[in-house]
Amino acid sequence: MPGKEIIGTLNNVLEIDLSSKTFSRVLISDSLRRMYLGGKGLGLKLLYDRLKPGIDPLGEDNLVIIMTGVLTGTQAPCSGRFHAVFKSPLTGIVGSSSCGGSFGRQLKSNGWDGLILKGKSKEPVLIQIHDETVEFMDATDLWGKDILETQTALGLKKSESLTIGSAGENLVRFANVAAGFRYLGRGGLGAVMGSKNLKAVVALKGQYKVVPFFKDKFDTLKTKANTYINRNTMSLLMRQFGTAANANPIIKNNMLPVNNFTYGNHPKAAQITGEAIKENHDTRNHTCKPCSIFCGHKGTFNGKQTNVPEYEALALLGASLGVFDPNDISRFNEICNQKGLDTISAGGTLAWVMEATHKGLVETDLEFGSPKNIVQALNNIAHLEGFGREMAMGSRALSDKFGGKAFAIQVKGLEMAGYDPRGAYGQGLGYAVANRGACHLSSFPVGFENLLNFLAPDTIRAKPEFVLFLENLYSAVNSLDICQFTGYGLTLETLLTRMTPHFVLRFLMQNLPVLAIALVDVSLYPDFFSAACGIDLSSKEFLKAGERIHILERLMNTNEGIRKADDTLPDRLLLEPQKDDPKKRVVPLAPMLNKYYKLRGYNKDGIPNQRLVKKLGI
């Protein structure tokens, strides 16, 4: 069959009803495309219009919405991404997860910008998509297989899949979904698929090729973007060391979550840096397509080639458990990948259990610094065996039942990533107000505070302004869909920023944040959007779309009962300094939160005011 071209975007979403085994087409208007862009934003809008507050996340009424962006399927750098939105069984609020790999590109090659999955199959089912055909196939023989076994059985040479493992089948609240060797990790999407008896979604190679609306302009932008990325220091560090490039500066700033965020450093911490792993484990690039950063790596661990653990796995399945041998951490990481467990929530939950065991709240054989029982614990979680049935609920549920809330390192039910905010106050605010819970990627101010040294880490000055700006920016970036890591190159390598001395940028950001933010050039992103789909969009409109997307997600959460009391941090981070911190710092959250609310247009309970909602057209 001759190939067909998608000029810009077809604006077609495939809606699949698992209960009735039927499917239909949902059309996306240009006005919705302009307002919500695609990816996360458009997914949230579709979810908002269809999902009633208060439904059971593991019930038949929950939805899974998979959305691509206008850049998906093009050759824009780092555009091999897609987004999932749903109601999270771990948090009880909106869940969202971004993923790399080729599934989004393959889905779009079939002429679909996204999927809406609703209802529940009576028996295990596999969905296969090929152009305008959807097949519902019996997955009984696949049920019980782990992710690698399932992928092998499917034979994925000419197809791409979303697959759950044992954890998803058993409704572990932080079960993930595999897309090749990448993962929709956070919030328990795997459990939602499992609750629908949906083992996998397979997209065969389709007949469509994505062609930018303004191809010449697009090619010029692509060349410029790659030039910026290829000369950016942070991009080059990730190319060389992967996300483990973050480990060294985090260790130097005493922000490593050692022994469940009790300490900020450790004598063995250097073993989990990107530099040490590259030297000792024969690493090489293994990344998404098309990519210019190449943050994904493979290496040799335990005598075999496998994915190098991301920084978050090194921190949460390593340092936070008191384990620093990369071979041990790789083994834990592989178990999570095979069984379908989010590495951050798995590590955060195990760390709570280790401390609760030490304090006599629960009885287990887990202890800080000992790797010997961790593999068994992860398997127990995935299969709901023994105390694994309790651990499968996550650290918030554990602390609600057994006590120890002060050291359950989570926000809104989502376990915290590997950056201790007592060493970066803006990151503390970012965790507290992030819509999906303790998410480091919602705003990632630690990048400015510690990795780039633009903002003084242990002051509250300028932090509310930058958290708000970065939330808007990343909400829009995740709706294109393009990798957030492009933010370093595409904003910091523009002419004005590149020519301004670092000390001047630091002064402006720290002391005149509104002016500094106004000078940030984000124009490459809306220019890519316009060139790809033919809809004109200015930088101001791009950031306004990001604000609209963020506020919509917040509104969905407040409709589920989220209030100011939920925008907080565990007591450990608010009241207890790290045991090895000579400055004895804790996160001064209250003044930052109050200013953030005022800047955002939230009332005293943290609810977006109606004037703001109306202004944004939600």
Q: Could you give all domains of the chain from N- to C-terminal order, each with its CATH number? A: 4-209 (3.60.9.10), 242-404 (1.10.569.10), 421-616 (1.10.599.10)
**pLDDT tens for each residue of 254-273:** 999 999 999 999 999 999 99
Radius of gyration of the chain (CA): 23
Residue spans of alpha helices (H) in 340-405: 343-358, 374-383, 388-391, 395-402
**pLDDT tens for each residue of 539-583:** 999 999 999 999 999 999 999 999 999 999 999 999 999 999 999
* Nearby residues of 74 by Cβ (< 8 Å), 6 or more positions away: 210, 212, 218, 532
Whether this prediction's pTM lies above 0.85 is answered by yes
**pLDDT tens for each residue of 407-448:** 999 999 999 999 999 999 999 999 999 999 999 999 999 999
**pLDDT tens for each residue of 296-313:** 999 999 999 999 999 999
Q: What is the largest CA-CA distance in the chain?
A: 68
Helix axes 463-477, 589-600, angle to 10 degrees: 60
Query: HEC states along 396-437?
Result: HHHHHHHCCHHHCCEECCEECCCCCHHHCHHHHHHHHHCCCC
Q: Is the torsion defined by CA of 566, 256, 252, 233 positive or negative?
A: negative
Helix (H) or strand (E) segment spanning residue 542: helix 539-558
Mean pLDDT value across residues 372-391: 98
* Nearby residues of 555 by Cβ (< 8 Å), 6 or more positions away: 48, 607, 608, 613, 618
The pairing of beta strand 114-118 with beta strand 159-163:
unpaired
C-beta neighbour count of 321 within 10 angstroms: 29
| β-bridge mates for residue 117, sequence order | 16, 64
Identify the pLDDT of residue 448: 96
**pLDDT tens for each residue of 439-475:** 999 999 999 999 999 999 999 999 999 999 999 999 9
Mean pLDDT value across residues 490-509: 94
The pairing of beta strand 198-204 with beta strand 125-130:
parallel
pLDDT interval class at 150 (50, 70, 90): very high
Tokens 């090194």 locate to 314
Count of alpha carbons within 13 angstroms of residue 466, beta-carbon side? 30
Mean pLDDT estimate for the chain: 96
pLDDT interval class at 353 (50, 70, 90): very high
Residue 213 to residue 203: CA distance in whole angstroms: 25
- Residue 14 predicted with pLDDT over 60: yes
Identify the pLDDT of residue 429: 98
Residue 280 to residue 271: CA distance in whole angstroms: 9
Residue 34 to residue 451: CA distance in whole angstroms: 33
Tokens 């975007």 locate to 9
Under 8 Å between Cβ of 48 and 486: no
Residues in the chain, overall count:
618
For every residue of 194-255, DSSP letters joined together read HHTTEEEEEEE--SEEEE-TTHHHHHHHHHHHHHHHHH-HHHHHHHHHGGGGGHHHHHHTT-
Under 8 Å between Cβ of 487 and 452: no
- Residue 1 predicted with pLDDT over 60: no
Identify the pLDDT of residue 3: 78
Q: SS3 for 130?
A: strand
